[in-house]
Structure 1
Amino acid sequence: MVTCGADRNAYVWNQKDGIWKLTLVILRINDAATSVKWSPLQNKFAVGSGARLISVCYFESENDWWVSKYIKKPIHSTVLSLDWHPNNVLLAAGSCDFKCRVFSTYIKEVDEKPASTPWGSKMSFGQLMSAFGGSGTGGWVHGVSFSASRSLLAWVSHNSTVSVADASKSMQVSTLKTEFLPLLSVSFILENSVVAAGHDCCPTLLNDDDRGCLTFISKLDIPKQSIQHNMSAMEHFCNMDKRATTENRNTALGMLHQSSITQVSIHEVDKQDCRKFCITGIDGAMTIWDFKILEFSIQGLRIMGS
């Protein structure tokens, strides 16, 4: 397990005999670490930070610690999100400079020489493979996600847009401007389907068809109808005590999450055939969603490929 935080440190934790022991990570950054992600083979991990760089860390057995190499250019602001390509070399990063970028993290001592991909063939460490967005075309990039096919990349921005780039089609980008509050996290759950969530406190399903058209399918958490009733004397007193009001107002959202959702992650199987996904939020809640149950409970919902 790897953790990072505002103290500018990262730690790798190993469990032995029921006790968690930490291993030192030589991070050497001068601003908060904002995100961390293991590579698919778990032989390295990446740390985004407010220092306008990405630290790619790998284990050095001689000294029993994790050392890091830096990707600095052309990042101009805080790195908010990271996701690894299935080949264990390419890394997507979203940052506060309105950009979503794909870098090579090839380290000769750690990785086998990577094969050519639709994202490019030159993969020296730190090589910028692709960049999307920019000033005036979006907002802070809060979440990024590679597809299992290795050619699609999705990201969500602070201007409430969801975008998908297809490397196999000359980096064609499809963007959907949603009516929701800004989205904070996104994940492919099938080859052409993504789940995104954020400040609306509700996960949303979107599909990207073969023509490169991104469409909204459905919100996945349907608010429950609140039951109105007359207040008793005790309820009047409780409202006056808690909210300084005598009105019968229910402040609950009627959904499972009562605050912003910060992470969407695969819970069962993988991005190619997701059966369940996990949602976590600022309210401290963690919910597991089953697609078969969702299709049964939401009339007309059909998840592409399921």
Structure 2
Amino acid sequence: MARGDLLVALVKSGAGGDDLAFRRAAEALIAEENAKKHGVLASQLADALTRRRNPGSSVSPLTRPQESVGLLHETEPTRRLTDLVLPTSVRQSTADLIEEHHRRDLLRSHGVEPRHRILLEGPPGSGKTTLAEAIATEVAVPFLTVRYEGLIGSFLGETASRLDALFSAVRIRPCVLFFDEFDAVAKERGDTHETGEIKRVVSSLLLQVDRLPSHVIVVAATNHAELLDRAVWRRMQVRLSLPKASREGKIEWLRAWSARTGVEFGKSERTIADRLRDVSYAELEDFATDVQRRLILDGFDADPGAITERILKAWGNRAKPESSD
């Protein structure tokens, strides 16, 4: 059975002629049936909603899944919040958001929706993508990553229509919609070097984000927060800053990873963190996986300390990007 609050909202908005509210209630109902694996019923409801669309409405019609092919990459999330090394404030804010979605029925009974628009900013490798995936895992929804190579067309008119297709496709399913490098599509509209068409695309993008129902959790990540349009900051309900990996953070991460995988390094986590002082969390995971891979290949008699030392030396000799003048 569908939730009573959705049915009441559907009838009230329909009777009152509020097309946008009706659309949102119907989309939430379809998303709930999709989450329950009631695919046939969800498809019938989606078809009915598409046929009902008011020609004068500014809301885009629903898009069938095949129309969004190439725009999204879907993965089954596996990361957990407990796997991540996060500042206390970031961990608490994320836990609060997850609780809101777990207890959304209670919030909705009081006429309040859970927050669902999140901005993550921080240097490369600080864990933005991992945190977005962990949110999807904890809320138990698919993790959808926007594919810019499919979204951004040769002509800006194509980009706008693909944006419509993308957002229309995700509106009727609970998910985490992840925009990596969000500044690539949401740059400051006051930039005099950008064309009017690009500014219209940014305006369309922000309007689409505004209209998404709360069962779609939008996570936007950027390494260059200063490039984002100022309206992005106003629209994001949760704004979190992920810092560069610290020595203490690396030690904590290595200990947690070793406990989770059962892989012993044969050297103290402090020693490894000191030897890898310039790496990010993402690179630290690559290093740990290098050690694990070598241990597997060398067999049961392998010396973890010797292998870790060997990998540390290899990482010390890795090619580094040239500094720019």
TM > 0.5 fold call: no
Q: Pick the structure with greater CA Rg.
A: 2
TM-score bracket for this pair, using the shorter chain length: under 0.3
- Bigger relative CO (Cα 8 Å, ≥ 6 apart): 2
Higher helix fraction: Structure 1 or Structure 2? 2
Higher strand fraction: Structure 1 or Structure 2? 1
TM-score calculated relative to the size of structure 1: 0.25
